[in-house]
Structure 1
Amino acid sequence: MKSRLPAFLSKDKICIICEGDEEYDYLNKLKELSVWSEQYEVFLDNADGNGNIPARYQDRYQNGSFEVVLVFCDTEKKPYEQYEDIKRKINVFHGIDNAAKEVLIYGNPCTMQIILEHWTDVRLKSPAKKVNASIIKEFTGVENYKGRADQRKEVMKHITAENYQDMYRRICEMQNDDTVIGSSNFDKLVKYLSSEDDRWINEINKKLEE
């Protein structure tokens, strides 16, 4: 009888709370492309709106089923009231001033800014889908983008493992300052999930427990 080797018993369970459908669909597409290290088992949780993120984060963190819980959302438009409220509530939950900085992955002004980096280094000025529709059409062929399920599905068809690398290169060149339009720290998530070394998880949790 052949001996059975354990299958990835040491995989780290990562929960990423997604603000909504666009964030969920995008990360799910990246999961399907297998562009991340097999060291991680990534669970995506659709919060169905940024107002639900703080409670969902607290629930998943206290659940204890995951090695680390992250949040993926956008800033929307100034004065970023809901986004700032998410950060404040995460900080209060952990009882430290910079907890949100450790776990929050953002796109300013919106997640479409990150998605478009697969094909272009254009910097969006607004989160409004109507304003960005012509740019989305130019690179994906999707007409009059409004974020419908069929439109999101069509956009995701254009994302490949090859242009994922292009996105990463472009994202690395963006500012990491969530008060600046056209900024993102998505490169941080890419670095985390591409690394075979999972010490970053302990580093995050250590800071959250200080």
Structure 2
Amino acid sequence: MTSRMPKFLDRRKICIICEGAEEYEYLERLNTLNVWNEQYKVILDNADGNGNIPARYQDRYQNSSYDLVLVFCDTEKKPYEQYVDIKRKINEFHGVDNVADSVIIYGNPCTMQIILQHWCEEKLKTPSKKVNSSLIQQCTGVENYKGRADQRKQIMEQITLENFGEMKERIKQMENDDRIIGSSNFARFIEFLTNEDDGWIEKINTLLDV
């Protein structure tokens, strides 16, 4: 009996540095659902805070164990000081203006903006958990959301292949400008990671290596 060999013997390793638990657990749920093209191995790294992202990014990039290193974070509130600082430090590390825009996956004002698109089209105006709690409850049934581990677990368990498909369509309609509240570039990276053509990795790395 002939054994079937896997299509991709050498999967492309993509490291995504996550700002915190919410980002990490969300992408881990998507990993569990096997939503990405089979040639990509998405490896997650929890930075435990946006202040740790630049150093973690530099370390993982210089490690040379990955085909590409990305960052997943939110913008928080205007004037987006910490987010802008992350971009500045990544640009300075590579010595290339604006190259951070090619490796950062963002949600403005927060990652919950992306997560809620699995169930609704509403755009968040603030990262405040207190302000957003009623919409979060409406979408997920989780009351008085404060970002606790048990609450995050309840939400992640409700993410399915079916509503992932719905989220993909909704997020395509979002503005792709990190200065605009209710925007995200996640649709771009979803397209990359679900596509068999991996040429986008080399295109990004070419920008980083100038």
Per the normalisation by structure 1, the TM-score is 0.97
The aligned counterpart of 1:137 is 137
The SS at the match of 1:117 is helix
**Aligned pairs for 1:157-172 within 5 A:** 157-172=157-172
The Cα shift of 1:189 comes to 1.4
Q: Does 1:127 align with 2:127?
A: yes
CA–CA distance in 2 between the matches of 1:3 and 1:79? 57
Distance change (3 Å), C-alpha of 1:81 and 1:6: same
Q: Which amino acid aligns with 1:49?
A: G
Q: CA deviation at 1:7?
A: 7.2
Give 1:9 shift: 2.3
Partner secondary structure for residue 59 of structure 2? helix
Equivalent-residue separation in structure 2 for 1:158 and 1:77 (angstroms): 28
Deviation digits for residues 79-135 of structure 1 (CA, Å, limit 9, x no counterpart):
000000000000000000011011000000000000000011101010010110000
Structure 2 regions of 5+ residues with no counterpart?
Answer: none
> Partners of 1:66 and 1:72 in 2: how far apart?
16
* Structure 1 position 154, deviation (Å): 0.1
**2:60 paired residue number:** 60
Mapped to 1, the partners of 2:8 and 2:174 lie a distance apart of 35
Decide whether aligned partners of structure 1 residues 10 and 150 sit closer, same or farther in structure 2, where only a CA change above 3 A counts.
same
Distance in 2 between residues matched to 1:170 and 1:6, nearest whole Å = 33
SS in 2 for 1:127: coil
Equivalent-residue separation in structure 2 for 1:78 and 1:66 (angstroms): 33
1:190 matches 2:198: no
Map 1:141-152; keep pairs closer than 5 Å. 141-152=141-152
Does 2:90 correspond to 1:90?
A: yes
Equivalent residue of 2:118, what SS? coil
User: Which residue of the partner structure matches residue 202 of structure 1?
Assistant: 202
C-alpha distance in 2, partners of 1:71/1:32? 19
Misfit runs of 4+, over 4 Å? 1-7
Deviation at 1:27, TM superposition (A): 0.3
Identity value in percent: 67
Q: What residue ranges of structure 1 are gaps of 5+ in the alignment? A: none
User: What letter corresponds to residue 50 of structure 2 in structure 1?
Assistant: N
Amino acid in structure 1 at the alignment position of 2:84: E
RMSD: 1.4
TM-score, normalization by structure 2: 0.97
Once the 2 structures are TM-superposed, how far is the Cα of residue 8 of structure 1 from its aligned partner?
3.2
Report the residue type matching 1:155 in the other structure: I
Aligned positions, number: 210
Which residue does the alignment assign to 2:39? Answer: 39
Give the structure 2 partner of residue 74 of structure 1: 74
Distance 1:6 1:161 in 2: 23
Distance 1:205 1:132, change over 3 A: same
Structure-2 residue corresponding to 1:11: 11
